């Protein structure tokens, strides 16, 4: 059953800028690509702090929840280098990602600008988009470096993004897989869309990452992003 729901609040007829998260948003949750990054983060923390895998995992998830990214926690608490962290954790195999021409066609049909706002790196985003087959559809990628290493959901990160790319939030839509990352965009006036797993295959996520679909700051929920975008473009 398609889990797409639409609330009678903010629609899309006024939107001229489409902002997308990257991981678990532009590709299905069940690819579990982020699981590779997750494992690399644990390895980095274990090596850096000289702790075992269990303690590294505890620290990793604690920092992720409190700071927005484990990297930010490692920088703040232990003085870790962002460059070293990003270089290490994004050394993954992107081959599980398959071309998605339906998604590419749906994005191409949206009227206006398309941008990516991610807590990952530009290099990682480029590899993901190349594997998916539609890098040319996006005007720019705003990554964790452009955010001055302040991850979503920090309010200043969204403001930097909007200012740099001259985006009017009242005429923009934001697509995300984490409900908490839509709180600030909604408050700024963006139409918000939460992308959730389709329920047909196993996904590896923390329980809190799956929460929030009924939150007031979530305007729409979909488990089929390509289909959802197609319906917007043809409405």
pLDDT tens digit string along 101-150?
999 999 999 999 999 999 999 999 999 999 999 999 999 999 999 999 99
Where is pLDDT greater, at 174 or 37? 174
Same fold, 5-29+98-234 and 34-89: no
- Homologous superfamily in CATH for domain 5-29+98-234: HAD superfamily/HAD-like (3.40.50.1000)
Mean pLDDT of the residues in the chain: 91
CB 222, CB 1: distance < 8 Å: no
- At the top level of CATH, the class of 34-89 is mainly alpha
Q: Locate the domains of the chain by residue range.
A: 5-29+98-234, 34-89
User: Computed from CA positions of residues 110, 161, 89, 60, in that sequence, does the dihedral angle turn out positive or negative?
Assistant: negative
The size of the chain, in residues, is 235
Q: What is the 3-class SS of 157-206, one letter each residue?
A: HHHHHHHHCCCCHHHEEEEECCHHHHHHHHHHCCEEEEECCCCCCCCCCC
């Amino acid at each position: 059953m398609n889990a797409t729901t639409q609330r009678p609040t903010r629609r899309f007829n006024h939107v001229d800028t489409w902002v997308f998260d990257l991981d678990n948003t532009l590709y299905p949750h069940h690819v579990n690509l982020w699981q590779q990054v997750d494992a690399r983060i644990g390895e980095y923390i274990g090596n850096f702090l000289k702790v075992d895998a269990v303690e590294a995992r505890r620290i990793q998830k604690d920092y992720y929840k409190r700071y927005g990214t484990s990297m930010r926690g490692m920088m703040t608490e232990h003085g870790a280098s962002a460059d070293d962290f990003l270089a290490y954790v994004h050394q993954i195999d992107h081959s599980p990602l398959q071309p998605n021409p339906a998604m590419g066609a749906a994005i191409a049909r949206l009227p206006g600008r398309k941008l990516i706002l991610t807590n990952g790196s530009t290099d990682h985003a480029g590899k993901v988009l190349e594997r998916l087959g539609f890098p040319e559809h996006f005007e720019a990628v705003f990554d964790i470096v452009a955010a001055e290493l302040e991850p979503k959901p920090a309010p200043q990160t969204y403001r930097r993004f909007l200012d740099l790319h001259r985006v009017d939030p009242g005429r923009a839509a934001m697509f995300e897989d984490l409900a908490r990352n839509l709180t600030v965009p909604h408050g700024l006036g963006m139409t918000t869309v939460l992308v959730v797993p389709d329920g047909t295959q196993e996904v590896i996520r923390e329980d809190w990452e799956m929460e929030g679909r009924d939150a007031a700051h979530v305007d729409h929920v979909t488990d089929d992003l390509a289909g959802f975008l197609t319906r917007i473009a043809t409405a």
